[in-house]
Amino acid sequence: MQQNFISILQNCSLKIQNILRQSHTNYLNSTNPSGDTQLALDIQADKIIEEELLKLDFIKGICSEEKSKAIYKNNGSYLVAYDPLDGSSIIESNLSVGSIFGIYEKEFKASKLIGAAYIVYGPRLELIFAGDKLHYYVHTGEDWQEKSPPALKKKGNINATGGTQKYWETNHKKLIENLFDEGYRLRYSGGMVPDLHQILIKGGGLFSYPSTSDAPKGKLRKLFEVFPFAFIYEKAGGEAIDGKNRLLELDIKDLHESTACFLGSEYEIKKVRNFYE
């Protein structure tokens, strides 16, 4: 099953990379269930992934950031939740974007997550897949090459934090200031895929999207963005919390629910707990 799934993601990534290269970054008049205005590319990428995933016998259902409801089949036992195109607001400026996937067993909830993956559309096409362990694939232009998987050290030096600064809570301001005082450097593109990929590849640091006064539950969605990356970061030796609790132990009531999130290496997550307790 894992190999079939990886192959399907590799097919999707090549198709999506193709549509991204055509450079039609126009917005539509529609919004997704989170209220974001959709790009034609969001919908095209969503369709590509839907068609590919529904071909797999072991897939029972899918849901995505761009669909209000899940789609179910009669067979299969695994569910996939995905963000077809993450970073659609930075696509116009030609920064790296990505796709994110979580594989759930029978139910869309964190405790049922059994695998996760993301694709990076950058100067290179790359895929990270996490099942029992991490796999890292890079497309050479001809075919896919597997590289040794990245791992998080106990401490890093990158600080990537989102949200509108004027709406940050005091504890978040203090946390960020403390990291800079310790010599951390700001690295934030506004796309969680390249931002989290950079921390993973460089071996450590902190990615945070806090709760803010204008977005008390943060912005990033549990099923399509936060849980898959929490799974990947834990497999890479890191940790992932909402400020206090482990992200992969959070409940979910609505498919499109969001949460504050902090993902990083051991040292930085310990610091988050100290500032947020």
Using CB under 6 A as the criterion, which residues of the chain lie in contact with ligand AHG when the complex forms?
36, 65, 83, 86-89, 162-163, 190-192, 209, 219
CB of 27 to ligand AHG, least distance (A): 12
Task: Kindly state the smallest distance separating residue 224's Cβ from ligand AHG, in Å.
Answer: 8
C-beta closer to ligand AHG: residue 111 or 165: 165
The interface partner of residue 228, options being Mn ion, ligand AHG, none and the CB cut-off 5 to 8 Å by kind, is none
Beta-ladder partners of 158: 185
Strand order in the sheet with 158-161: 185-186, 158-161, 206-209, 261-264, 239-241
What is the closest distance, in whole angstroms, from the C-beta atom of residue 32 to Mn ion in the complex?
7
Name which of residues 52 to 71 contact Mn ion (CB under 5 A): 65
In the DSSP assignment, the letter for residue 258 is B
Q: Which is nearer to ligand AHG, 89 or 178 (CB)?
A: 89
The encoded tokens of residue 78 equal 């695994």
What are the residues whose beta carbons fall under 8 Å from the beta carbon of 137, sequence distance 6 or more?
6, 10, 126, 127, 128, 129, 144, 145, 146, 147
Look up residue 223 and give its amino acid. Answer: L
Could you tell me the smallest distance in angstroms from the CB atom of residue 71 to ligand AHG? 19
Among 83, 126, 195, 234, interactor with Mn ion by CB under 5 A: 83
- Residue number, 62 or 179, with CB nearest to Mn ion: 62
Q: Which is nearer to ligand AHG, 49 or 192 (CB)?
A: 192
Residue 10 or 212: the one with the smaller Cβ distance to ligand AHG is 212
**CA distance linking residue 176 with residue 272, whole number of Å:** 9
If contact means CB under 5 to 8 A according to the sort of partner, which of Mn ion, ligand AHG, none does residue 243 touch? none
Residue in 194, 211, 212, 119 with CA at minimum distance from that of residue 158: 194
Q: Among 46, 50, 86, 195, which residue interacts with Mn ion (rule: CB under 5 A)?
A: 86
Q: Within a 10 A sphere around the Cβ of 108, how many other Cβ atoms? A: 19
| Least gap, CB of 55 to ligand AHG (angstroms) | 24
- CA distance linking residue 4 with residue 107, whole number of Å: 21
Minimum CB separation from ligand AHG for residue 175, in Å? 16
Cα–Cα distance between 210 and 21 in angstroms, integer? 33
Pick 65 or 268: Cβ nearer Mn ion? 65
Q: Which does 191 bind (CB under 5 to 8 A by kind): Mn ion, ligand AHG, none?
A: ligand AHG
Distance (Å) of CA 144 to CA 11, 127, 135, 240, 271: 11, 9, 12, 29, 38
Kindly determine how many residues on this chain lie close enough to bind Mn ion according to the rule CB under 5 A: 4
CB of 100 to ligand AHG, least distance (A): 8
Nearest to 257 by CA among 219, 228, 214: 219
Question: Which residues contribute to the site for Mn ion (CB under 5 A)?
Answer: 65, 83, 85-86
